[in-house]
Structure 1
Amino acid sequence: MASQTESLPDALLEALAEKGRVDSYEYATSVGRNHQDVVGAVKSLESFGDILKTEQKQTELWELTEEGKEIAENGSHEVRLFEAVDQSNGTPQNELMSKVPNAKIGFSKAMSNKWLKLDKSSPGPPQVYRNVESVTDTVRKLLCSLKGESGRGELSDENLKEFKKRKLISSIIIKNYIITQGPSFTTSISKKSTELTAEMIQNGSWKNEEFKSYNFNALGAPLATGHLHPLLKVRTEIRQIFLEMGFCEMPTNNFIESSFWNFDALFQPQQHPARDAHDTFFLKDPQFSYDFPTEYLERVKTMHQTGGHGSIGYQYDWKLEEAQKNILRTHTTAVSTRMLYKLGQQVGVVHSNE
């Protein structure tokens, strides 16, 4: 058995040299070590190259439930109930049910095994009598064979099926490794150097060193890149809410706009200071736009000059030439004016039961 202080990888290599093939779980059980420790040793040895070959597989093991442990400790329900029956005169059924733990299960199993017989002919409660002189607690024996052992102990397929149904055992699936010797198998391993140091070059020790291969395709550590500003984060969350509700975003990639949509459609007077060359970038080529919805343009012109709907307008001579000038848009509200006009040309759909 490998001691707790012995190097587990070294002990595993010695076992592999002796046997040629090792099951990681069986080995862990035989040396009294945790299986995960053995798996860790296997992974460590794999880093040394082709020292060993491994094949992963899944193994179904069985362990006692709490009830199974109690039976392994104190005996099965059926045997304990059998022993509680008076050998000569029998015992009233109601008395057995009240004084023996899990009597209902034990009575059912004992009757099924024909260990007991029930007499209902005599006055009073039914009387339980022994039908055999003695019994063997096979259930306890089988459960004890499983307790502390790997695999299935002495349990047959029929036993497993019965005990699983009685919830005395439960299955666990473990991932274990079948380990065999690799092309470069050896029991003497040395840790490979991971870097060439200045000291190695100076004293020449690099000549006798074995270096670990570099993985030049490995990704570097991820960089801590920028993050959204808290206000932009809230904006993004609200945007996503509207999108999930079915709203669509307006196209905002139209960076060149006519003065008509940027200013006039928003009823900004043509003599407004913000429209002069000090605050707005005017284009030289193309200098003007000509494609406007005629009816809408006339309505905008009227509102500027004389007003309407309770307004008197700005009372000035509105010029088309000024509205035709192309600019680098000064705000994205120009997109809103275009979209409102576009949506206004569509017939709205409503649903009503009237």
Structure 2
Amino acid sequence: MEKKEAVVQMVLDAVERGDGNSIETKLGSVTEPELVGALKSLERRKYIEFVTEETGWFELTEEGEEIAQNGSWEYRVFVAVREKGQSTKRLEKTLGEKAKIGVGQAVKNGWVKVVDGTVTANTLDIKDEARESLLMKEKICEKTHAQLRKRKLLVERKRKTFNVKKGELFSQEVTQGEKEITKEMLVSREWEKLSFKEYNYDALGKRERKGGLAPLMKMRDEFREIFLQMGFTEMRTDKYIETSFWNFDTLFQPQSHPSRDLQDTFFVDSSCAESRIPARLLATTRRAHEEGIEGSEGHRYTWKLSETQKCILRTHTTAVTSRTLHEHSKQSPFRPGRYFSIDRVFRNETLDATHLAEFFQVEGVIVDRNIGVAELISVLSSFFGRLGMEDLRFKPAFNPYTEPSMEVFAYYPALKKHVEIGNSGLFRPEMLQAYGFESDVCAIAWGLSLERPAMIKFGVDDIRKLVGSAEISFNEDSSVCLL
């Protein structure tokens, strides 16, 4: 007979004999977990009913027993110095290693004082409350109990008792019960005579391994939902390889700009060069760079077609915005527009805990007549407010294709400071008028990485954990959404 079955039988036999009260004292070497398991099993089958009672008491430790007999260490220190002061070293020789405890407690009680290593009495008579409390351990207050337990003079003991009585279906013979009804039982009607094992509908099933959205993808979906709620339309972002024309030139970024160098940009085979750049846009973009448009002086250099046809892995999704605004400019009559994109961009970065060569950029743009910084701040407050970032600050900045430009900072309570979360600004007239927009049409835009807010949200200290090397458990256990 297995140990579990043996304990069950011992319980049934004890109840049959009338020994159900304080049953744990009558089963010898059975441990408490074994007994509780047997009792709950029998209770589920209605063989027994039981009630658990817990009693507690206090016991003196070995040191507590010694103090109850001979007095506390502070009392012994006081007795030793009552007639004449003694040095701490002499007390240690007399009372042993506990002398330090006794001196400290006696000083705390105000019984003695220590001056230049000599202990002298402050009073003629005292009351050894520690010893008296130990002798009356069941009658003292909780505060005194706590003090004695802290000094390891007293310990609390607890004991569970189980009072057991017969249940509705009590029997000394345990039947397991059938687990399921078979066809034969139904045909023969044998099931009517059998007992069946009860199903526990509250039991949890085995946890199955499942897939999970990566935290970065959850963050992306949250941003997308916010844009859609604010009336934005998603731009098509599947063109990872771009010409320098759309990535740089249409953004009024000079061909000598450092960001177009090999150390910052991934260049690809020039055979992919796009040959269908709109002729009018090509001409107006060249003029914007070389001469300027309507009040602008341009960059004053010789613009090269060979440079603009170089192919790269796009360095920002603003290349997508450039294409979208060019298409929007063809609408007649003019209509305002709201667009957003969330997708990969590529930079020639050294990989470390805060940098990736491939990362996600979030970008939003609004094009309308006569809008400016006030509208930009308003829409940024609404956008970031939906992410729970309400305390925003704006700092003037420089960007080749926006003027004015502003860095956006949000306050993070965990860091107790404002942290940069994005960039923003108004697209330059040289861009918009080259597309074909009228002079009173403006575009406000902002952008940020997806990884930085994800790192803060999910408590990640290394940006590389958000991408391919992440453990599947990290995906499964991360939050379903942002609240």
Name the TM-score class by shorter chain.
0.3 to 0.5
Bigger share in strand:
2
Q: Normalization by structure 1: what TM-score?
A: 0.44
Q: Which structure's relative contact order is higher, taking Cα pairs within 8 Å and 6+ residues apart?
A: 1
Bigger Rg, which one = 1
TM-score by length of 2: 0.35
